[in-house]
Chain A
Amino acid sequence: MSSDSGNFDKARRRFLRGLGMGTAAAVAQPAWGGQTFQDAFADFFQKDYRRMSTEEIEEALERIERKAADRYGVEIDCTNTPPQPGVVFGYAINISRCKGYRDCVQACVKENNLGRDSQVQYIRVLELNQGDFNLEHSDHYYDPETVPVEGKHYLPVQCMQCDDPPCVKACPVEATWMEPDGIVVVDYDWCIGCRYCMAACPYWARHFNWTEPEIPAEEMNTDTHYLGNRPRPRGVVEKCHFCVQRTRKGRQPACMEACPTGSRIFGNLLDPDSEIRYVLANKQVFRLKEELGTEPKFWYFSD
């Protein structure tokens, strides 16, 4: 049902886009940061995601696609796939399997259109000495010939999608919130860039666009989501969103798909038959900084 209506929306939007482009070209000069005056005006007064009507969201998606075409020369498809009912996502990582290859990091960068020059990465893999779990002793930039290095172990860290997220409480304009499927998202068009959420996050999961993110056109992932991997503007905060553009369509997050060791397990916490529920029921799991009470939906375990 949802894919049907999605196709219809897409067709309708393509049609509208045709109209919009036509009028825009005829009426206005592209002097507004490469945008037409209408687009710049609509962008400025765009409401926050949760208060936009369906039509307004459609128009916003249109503008996002036009902007990407203008800025990167790429035809992207920006969707608004809603959360599926009865789904709350969770993640678990088998740290005895992780070998520190960082394939997850690279896959995430590509999948989520992260700024290449700004080198933003949603995932950090920490290298620690065997027998040491003090994060302050970790190496964030380990660079040996080959991994794994003898005597080291590896700890991938990313947004824990806390169930009581301190970043959401911190935001003065409600530009970040938890979706019904448990994903903490950011409305990049509503964020004012105060970075209070970054100060509030105990996992260093939030990243700021200090500069305009640069993405080579040929590397752009054109399958995007409003709350996910669409190209971000400068001056706003972003973070891991469990690949919302994939996972809401039943696909795995890119980091899990890329992991060559099978350390990563992602799934629906509300489904008793899911693999993640099996892990939670049968493995010794722990959460990072659990004592802070943020209730991460991200667990670690070992064989």
Chain B
Amino acid sequence: MTVIRFLLDGLREMFRGPREYWMWLGALAAIVAFGAWNYSQQLTHGLVVTGMSDQVSWGFYISNFAFLVGIAAAAVLLVIPAYIFDRKDIKDVVLVGEGMAVAAVTMAIMFVIADLGRPDRLWHMLPFIGRFHWPVSLLAWDVLVLSVYLLLNLAIPFYVLFSHYRGKEPNIRLYFPFVVIAMFWAISIHTVTAFLFSANPARPFWHTSLLGPRFIASAFASGPALIIITLQIVRKVTSYHISQTVIDTLALIMTTALQISLFFVGVELFTDFYNEGAHAASIHYLFFGLGGFASLRTWIWLALILNLIAVVILMIHPMRRKTLFLNIACVLTFIGIWIEKGMGLVIPGFIPTPLGEIFEYMPTSVELGVAAGIWAFGILVFTLLAKAVIAIRQGKVRQAPHDPHYTL
């Protein structure tokens, strides 16, 4: 079967490379192993080894989850210009972007599973065998949209690459409907993730209709930031041609999105602080501290400053066009949004508790270790996917001409 040959050839390509490539894979695998060891500690002793409590019942895991869903959704920023506007330069990298989406969704799902008290009961979520509380539970919605998004981002590149492998042009009519679905789906995954939080009147900090738009805006800043950096690395370590016009387009999208994202932050701050009621307690805790507790204050101001510096760099055209400055802006944006939409969003929702208690949260070494392992796993997945994608796109991996199935 050609499909099996295709998969085998793809796999072989993933694990073929110079010494540096193997060292990179080895380093990632070592961090994954470190994460797995930390997770085994958590499985043995229970979630008591984390910094979470009845007061702050979600922490570092769910923070990373919320952020990573945004990264996954941002792949749509390559999908739209590539397939709808038929930008040839972006078509060359869209598969890399989809590989990133696969890695990001994988990490997001892993973070949720790491957060579960009873991962052994995950099958309770399966429809029919278990009890899947859909469409009522927003968490059920999130599981559904993330799973389908993962499948879409596996299936479309699979078809396109399989066509290339056989030396054919993929039939656009065949996969275009799925591309359209994937576009809307990308928006849906991050909107549903925002709804997961904003659906709770019990948590005034999250209970705002601006949360969905904020999630999308910040994702469309942090996503391109990561893609820009990644594409430059790919350009450096492979012979794959990546047009500068791709990076320029992404930089422009990122500039606009970051402006909107910061505007939304300002809107939140105004609404909560102009007439400061009980509703503002969480945001007060976040930015200024509350009752002598202020463990997130430094972080959120840092995030705000990083994003402000980034947006200034991006808005000054000559600066944005300089690779060095663009890269600085990308790194600042990525870290800034990671803080803001991660810990800065999830933790204050729990402080103070609905009964007015202030109880702080600090991730433990186990949580940090598990998180490092999951991130390394995601990067590993992306590396392997990108390696195979590029080789197939370059025609280095293709069906052997003497294959009897060649004509099929």
Residue numbers of A with Cβ under 8 A of B are 44, 48, 51, 120, 124, 126, 134-138, 140, 157, 166, 169-175, 190-196, 198-204, 206-212, 233-237, 289, 292-293
Looking at chain B's contact residues, the main secondary structure is loop
Q: Which of B67-75, B123-131, B225-233, B308-316 contacts A (4 or more CB under 8 A)?
A: B123-131
> Can you pick out 14 interface pairs between chain A and chain B where the beta carbons lie within 8 Å of each other?
A124-B355, A126-B355, A136-B352, A166-B200, A173-B125, A173-B132, A191-B117, A193-B118, A199-B350, A200-B200, A201-B202, A235-B47, A289-B354, A292-B202
Whether A192 contacts B354 in the complex (CB less than 8 A), given A134-B278, A234-B117, comes out as: no
Residue numbers of B with Cβ under 8 A of A are 45-48, 50, 52-55, 57-58, 112, 115-122, 124-125, 130-133, 136-140, 143, 196-197, 199-203, 278, 281, 349-350, 352-357
Contact B131 A173 (CB under 8 A): yes
Contact B139 A170 (CB under 8 A): yes
Contact B121 A190 (CB under 8 A): yes
Contact of B138 among A135, A157, A170 (CB under 8 A): A170
Whether A136 contacts B203 in the complex (CB less than 8 A), given A48-B124, A173-B131, comes out as: no
Tell me the minimal C-beta distance from B216 to chain A in angstroms: 21
Q: How far is A92 from B370 in the complex, measured between Cα atoms in Å?
A: 46
Contact of B48 among A196, A204, A211, A289 (CB under 8 A): A211
Looking at chain A's contact residues, the main secondary structure is loop
Contact B117 A170 (CB under 8 A): no
Contact A199 B46 (CB under 8 A): no
Contact B117 A171 (CB under 8 A): no
Contact B132 A172 (CB under 8 A): yes
CB-CB under 8 A from B140, the residues of chain A are 172
Contact of A192 among B45, B46, B124, B353 (CB under 8 A): B124
Whether A173 contacts B130 in the complex (CB less than 8 A), given A195-B117, A211-B46, comes out as: yes
Q: How far is A140 from B140 in the complex, measured between Cα atoms in Å?
A: 34
CB-CB under 8 A from A166, the residues of chain B are 200-202
Contact of A211 among B45, B115, B133 (CB under 8 A): B45
Contact of A208 among B47, B138, B203, B350 (CB under 8 A): B47
Contact A202 B354 (CB under 8 A): yes
Contact B203 A199 (CB under 8 A): yes
CB-CB under 8 A from A207, the residues of chain B are 54
Contact of A135 among B116, B133, B355 (CB under 8 A): B355
Contact B143 A140 (CB under 8 A): no
Contact B201 A292 (CB under 8 A): yes
CB-CB under 8 A from A195, the residues of chain B are 57-58, 115, 117
Q: How far is A203 from B74 in the complex, measured between Cα atoms in Å?
A: 36
Contact A140 B357 (CB under 8 A): yes
Tell me the minimal C-beta distance from A126 to chain B in angstroms: 7
Q: How far is A284 from B116 in the complex, measured between Cα atoms in Å?
A: 43
